[in-house]
Structures are given as structure tokens and as C-alpha cells.
Amino acid sequence: MIHQSKYATHLIGLLIIALSMVGPGESEANIDDDIASRVIEMTRSQWELDKMRYQIAVRMAPSFADEINYNSHTDSIAITPLTSAKPVGLFPLLIEIFTNHDKNNSKAWRSQMTLNIKVFDSVLVANERIKVGTLVDPSMFKSQWADITRATDKVIKEIEEIKGKRFKRNITEGGMITSSALENIPDVEYGDVVAILLRNGALTIRATGTALQKGYTGETIRVKNTNSRRIVSVVITGPGETTIAIGGRK
């Protein structure tokens, strides 16, 4: 009987030690996790960030359990952005927690929390390496769910957005397609033989020349006259056709 009593006492002692070691740690973790979850959900609601496109995680936050006596059932939380930027990337917030013992919520515990908000979308990526000057072809691309958080240019989502364009820089295989990588096909290319028209009332003089620049309708470019070898400034009036700009003769 004495042996059993000592054994029972020993077990009770171990249980007390285990509870004293685990209890507080779990409580603090639960408090921090609960506050973080509530802040994330409030952020989603306030800025209408759906769970499919926006991935939100806490990047930096204090240990709330060390500072306040928090009760998830009775305490309220308010969030205020500390930046005027869109909620993308690192997004700092002012967190105010009103505890149940603060009368009329007149006193709040305040701290800063930084969220890391990633944005995903279905975009076009290159199936293969694409060289500069290549005309857009639907077979070059595939749609892929991608992280566009750091994209500084408009990302292309549909092939219809870029039909009739060409690439003005190289794209690696798997590279995301953005608007800055493409351009409309010029009406006049460098080296094109173009018609040069000089109109003076009813008189029209027609000549030919070689374009020294590329350009689009309405733009001014330089052209070398085939006969005189002079370089003139002309205005592009259509594919392969130009008129001499006022004061453009050199």
C-alpha cells in the first residue's frame, strides 16, 4: 500500500509539472493566432480580397499575449492601414484591441502588424523562348496560375489582348507576358522603301526613299530620298506612304 501511495503521488507530481509547462505556452500561442486570424479576415472583408486570388500571412507582429488580458469572445479589434498604397505586398496596419474591462471601449491597446499579401491570377506564360521581333501566335502561350504580386507592368490574361502585336524584347520559356514586352507592328519599318509625296496646291510630286526609322501613322521619321540622296523629315500617312513634313527638307 505504501508503495502504491508513493507511486500515485509521483504521477500527480509529474502531471502538475507537465500542465505548468504546456498550459501557458499554448494559451499565448492561441491568443496570437486568434488575433492574427481575426486581423486577416477583417483585412479581406475591408478590401474585398477573395481567398482564391489573395494569399495573406502575418509577416511581423508583437506577442499580444505578453501585453494584454485577451478574451476572443468579448474583446473587439479595429484595424487602420498605415499606408495609402493598395493592399499588396508588405502591408502595415495599426491594430487596436479593446478589452472587455475597458469601459465603453474608451481605452485600447495599440500596436503594429505587417501583413504579407500575395496576389495570384491566371496569366499567359511562354511555352518556349521567344525572340525579339516575333509576331504573336496563340501556340506560343499557355494559361497558368501565377504570383503577380511583384509585376510592375500590366499582365496579359487573354490572347485577344495582344493579337496583331510583336515582341520587342526576348522572353524566356515560362516567362510571364506583360504589356511592356509587346508593341504594335509599325506602319513603316527601318529600311523600308516608302513613297514620298510633296503636295503644293494641285501639284503633287512623288518620289521614293528609304526609311531611316520605324514609325506609326501620324509620326515623323527621317527618310533618304533615293534620287537626290537627301535626308528629309516626313510624316507617315499610312503603310509605306509618307508626306514631307513642313520645314522638313534638309
What pLDDT is recorded for position 149? Answer: 95
The Cα-based distances of 220 to 186, 187, 225 in angstroms read: 13, 12, 15
- Convert the pLDDT of each residue in 85-142 to its tens digit: 999 999 999 998 887 655 455 556 888 999 999 999 999 999 999 999 999 999 999 9
Q: How confident is the model at residue 115, as a pLDDT?
A: 96
233 Cβ neighbours under 8 A, 6+ residues apart: 220, 221, 222, 223, 244, 245, 247, 248, 249, 250
pLDDT score at 68: 67
CB 145, CB 132: distance < 8 Å: no
Burial 150-164 (b: 16+ CB within 10 A, else e): eeeeebbeebeebee
Q: What is the dihedral of CA 66, 68, 71, 75, to 10 degrees?
A: -140
Q: Looking at residue 138, what DSSP letter applies? A: G
SS3 100: coil
pLDDT tops 90 at residue 205: no
- Joined together, the cell numbers standing for residue 38 give 481575426
Amino acid identity, position 43:
T
Query: Could you read off the pLDDT of 56-95 as tens digits, one per residue?
Result: 999 988 776 666 677 666 678 899 999 999 999 999 999 9
Regarding predicted confidence, which is higher, 203 or 149? 149
Within 99-170, strands assigned E span: 109-126, 141-147, 165-167
What pLDDT score was predicted for residue 89?
Answer: 95
pTM exceeds cut of 0.75: no
pLDDT for res 60: 85
Least-confidence region, from 21-35, 173-187, 206-220: 21-35
59-81 burial, b for 16+ CB within 10 Å, e for fewer? eebeebbeeeebeeeebebebee
Structural domains for the chain: 2-119 (no CATH), 127-184 (3.90.1210), 193-249 (2.30.30.760)
Which segment of 43-57, 102-116, 156-170 scores lowest on mean pLDDT?
A: 102-116
